[in-house]
């Protein structure tokens, strides 16, 4: 089950900007589990048969459905459920509970369904274009917008899906949580707080990206904005957003300490 699914996601979602984090999450997620193998072997107690059978009864048909009709998100989610059921049968509930973060983290390899991306991205693109237009207007630039199309001087720019921030959101969430887990331990309360802050950080970073491309277009022409600088702007945006997450983590040290509890374990 796993091999054909991994081939499918490697050729499909993982080859797109929205899924580029997939291989990284898979490799680091498995590493998080294997590095705790002595703990797993010490605490493993085979799980009950009934929950295993029930989970497999749901996962296997869902996997077959997703595979047959090319619903990659359903296929990957069903595969993960089946693997969790098998893991539960061998190592039991206690181990799975201790592995909650690696399991949750590996969930980021599930591709976001296309229909959900379309539904969420459209209002985000409109919001980004409105904010960028209003901001640059305050600085005297001849700029306006109609929906997700921005007009500046004699040029018009279409705010694409990548500029809305959703593509980088999933990657930033995964990498940010991995960073927090490795440096701060499995403080789930603080992890959820950081996850909530990733969305505005990703959107703000992409607003800066769009504004920069508008300014490049206005001052240097469309060819400059759509060439190498366009791709370079995407890399700079992602890197800047990631560094800002690290900065937020540093600033929120008192909050992290307040949200810590005796039950939180170090990785």
Using CA atoms, how far residue 155 sits from 70, 201, 214, 229, in Å, is: 40, 28, 9, 17
Q: How far apart are CA 194 and CA 248, in angstroms?
A: 8
Q: Quick check: 264 and 188 in contact, CB under 8 A?
A: yes
Instruction: Answer yes or no: 163 catalytic.
Output: yes
Task: Determine which one of 67, 163, 184, 256 is catalytic.
Answer: 163
User: d(Cα 236, Cα 69) in Å, to the nearest integer?
Assistant: 38
Q: Which residues contact 264 (CB under 8 A, 6 or more apart)?
A: 185, 186, 187, 188
Residue 94 bears catalytic tag: no
Q: Alpha carbon of 226 to those of 29, 36, 178: distances in Å?
A: 36, 47, 33
Do the beta carbons of residue 172 and residue 203 sit within 8 Å? no
Candidate list 36, 93, 184, 209, residue with the active-site label: 209
d(CA 57, CA 86): 12
Give me the active site residues, please: 163, 209
């Amino acid at each position: 089950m796993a091999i054909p699914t991994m081939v499918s996601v490697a050729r499909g979602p993982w080859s797109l900007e929205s899924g580029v984090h997939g291989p990284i999450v898979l490799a680091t997620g498995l590493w998080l589990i294997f590095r705790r193998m002595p703990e797993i072997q010490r605490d493993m107690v085979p799980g009950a048969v009934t929950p295993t059978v029930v989970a497999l009864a749901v996962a296997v048909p869902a996997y077959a459905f997703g595979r047959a009709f090319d619903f990659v998100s359903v296929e990957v989610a069903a595969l993960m459920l089946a693997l969790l059921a098998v893991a539960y049968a061998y190592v039991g509930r206690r181990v799975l509970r201790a592995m909650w973060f690696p399991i949750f983290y590996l969930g980021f390899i599930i591709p976001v369904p296309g229909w959900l991306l379309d539904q969420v991205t459209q209002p985000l693109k409109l919001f980004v274009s409105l904010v960028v237009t209003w901001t640059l207007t305050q600085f005297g630039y001849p700029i306006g917008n109609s929906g997700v199309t921005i007009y500046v001087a004699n040029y018009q720019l279409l705010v694409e899906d990548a500029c809305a921030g959703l593509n980088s959101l999933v990657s930033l969430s995964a990498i940010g949580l991995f960073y927090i887990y490795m440096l701060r331990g499995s403080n789930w309360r603080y992890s959820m707080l950081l996850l909530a802050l990733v969305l505005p950080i990703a959107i703000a970073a992409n607003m800066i990206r769009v504004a920069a491309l508008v300014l490049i277009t206005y001052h240097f022409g469309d060819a400059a904005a759509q060439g190498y600088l366009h791709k370079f702007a995407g890399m700079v945006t992602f890197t800047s957003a990631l560094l800002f997450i690290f900065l937020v983590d540093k600033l929120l040290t008192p909050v992290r300490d307040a949200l810590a509890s005796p039950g939180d374990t170090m990785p």
